[in-house]
Amino acid sequence: MPHTNRPYKSSYRYHRYCRFPQTSSSFLLCTYIIAFLRCRFGKETSAAQYPSVRNLEAFPLMRYNKAAINFRRSMMKNRQRQKDILFSILIFGSAFAVNLLIQKLFTTQTLVPMIFVFGVFLISLKTHGYCYGITSAIVSVFAVNFAFTYPYYAFDFFVEESILSAVIMLIVAVSTSTLNIRIRNQEKLRSENEKERMRGNLLRAISHDLRTPLTSIYGSSSTLISKYDALSKEQQLKLLGEIQEDSEWLIRMVENLLSVTRIDGAKVEVVKTPTVLDELIDSVLMKFSKKHPNQKVITQIPDEFVDIPMDSLLIEQVLLNLLENAVFHAKGMTELTLSVSLVGDKAVFEVADNGCGIPEDALLKIFAGSYEKSAAPVDGTRSNMGIGLSVCAAIVKAHGSDMTAENRSGGGAVFRFALERGGEDDGQ
């Protein structure tokens, strides 16, 4: 930006005894108050919420590779570093431009240090680490001394205001960065505690669910071994079919748990990548039709192109679980619907059926992993669907949303959750 012509009214004496020390001290106190309130009540975006590298979903085997995870983290750090640099340049440039404008319009320099101090405060507040805040403080001191202090366009560091400006800006930068780092560490700790709590709830939820199929498998196999000759061919096939059904259910449940926990060094990894809605729905329907070829699914999705940041494998597992829950538990169901609607900046997913619905007293605890639809099923279907829904709820929660369940007025139940639509900075 070219320098504007300034009226040569001010003298060195005027600049030397300007009111910057008193004004900046008051402003510094305000910044401390703001920083304290932020430290006490504020929240900051955790590093895990930043989007990962695009198109890594194309290599599913890499998702479980530690080197790939480290690569994603490195790329996210590089992206965050670039954002911090651009933000620092933008704030400093804005402060410099505002000072030039004020000096041209009002022919005063009393606001110059305050604006640069505020810029240093913003940079220290929004960037990561000490580097950007301290660097901006030093550059701001040079800018004030060179462009806004007499003699203009020449460095004179023996001016008292320059020394005081440097001290105050460094104090603001270091103090704000320290508070900011502490806030981020506290937020990271809260996030880790929440993940551990979620993992503990899942483990408690599956304890009794594992017992039921294992007991059934043990009982059927014991009967086959002890009474093999006494059983007819039909009875043997029935017991073997029950063993196969329980085994398949156990396999599905273990796959769900492996999907949601993603244990890697005791940390849960949920990596979001932009996913095309049509491709997600097609993949879900293809896998569902292989397991349940006789069950028709009505789909309702937007005609427009929809891009949603998500962990596609996990969300795919959620939709499959919800569809299979309807098949297994919605007695009398004749219609199963999978729909996606756009509401504002969110995509709302719904899986609805016209079956028997859910008891009202079970709706509030259906995602806790302890809901039993029937203590003694008579139709051979799985009696407990709590663990599948608790896994779904945990996956959706890891994506920053919540899952809800309600009964439809015309009969049946509907499960619903929403995800943020595509954007450059969308992210878990």
β-pairing, 307-310 vs 336-343, is unpaired
- State mean pLDDT over 288-300: 91
Determine the pLDDT at residue 204.
Answer: 66
pLDDT band at 390 (very low <50, low <70, confident <90, very high): confident
Lowest pLDDT segment from 185-189, 295-299, 359-363: 359-363
**H-state helical runs in 107-159:** 112-126, 131-147
Q: Check pLDDT > 80 for residue 311.
A: yes
Determine the pLDDT at residue 404.
Answer: 93
Q: How does pLDDT run across 16-39, given as a tens digit for each residue?
A: 334 334 344 444 445 444 544 454
Q: Give the CATH number of domain 272-428.
A: 3.30.565.10
Determine the pLDDT at residue 258.
Answer: 67
Burial zone of 24 (CB within 10 Å; 0-12 exposed, 13-18 middle, 19+ buried): buried
C-alpha 62/C-alpha 68 separation (Å) is 6
- State mean pLDDT over 378-383: 40
Determine the pLDDT at residue 266.
Answer: 40
pLDDT band at 397 (very low <50, low <70, confident <90, very high): confident
Question: Helix, strand, or coil here: 31?
Answer: helix
Determine the pLDDT at residue 29.
Answer: 46
User: What predicted TM-score, i.e. pTM, was given to this entire model?
Assistant: 0.46
Q: Which of 35 and 324 is assigned the larger pLDDT?
A: 324
β-pairing, 307-310 vs 273-276, is antiparallel
β-pairing, 307-310 vs 404-407, is unpaired
C-alpha 266/C-alpha 264 separation (Å) is 5
- State mean pLDDT over 269-286: 88
Q: Check pLDDT > 80 for residue 263.
A: no
Determine the pLDDT at residue 373.
Answer: 41
C-alpha 55/C-alpha 12 separation (Å) is 60
Number of Cβ atoms within 10 Å of the Cβ of 407: 15
Q: Note whether 420 and 345 are within 8 A (CB).
A: yes
- State mean pLDDT over 368-376: 45
User: In the chain, what percentage of residues exceed pLDDT 70?
Assistant: 68
pLDDT band at 61 (very low <50, low <70, confident <90, very high): very low
Q: Which of 331 and 17 is assigned the larger pLDDT?
A: 331
Q: How does pLDDT run across 121-171, given as a tens digit for each residue?
A: 888 888 888 888 888 888 888 887 777 777 777 777 676 666 777 788 888
Average pLDDT of the chain is 74
Lowest pLDDT segment from 33-37, 101-105, 173-177, 223-227: 33-37
Lowest pLDDT segment from 15-29, 94-108, 183-197, 322-336: 15-29
Q: Where are the domains of the chain?
A: 12-190, 272-428
Q: Check pLDDT > 70 for residue 364.
A: yes
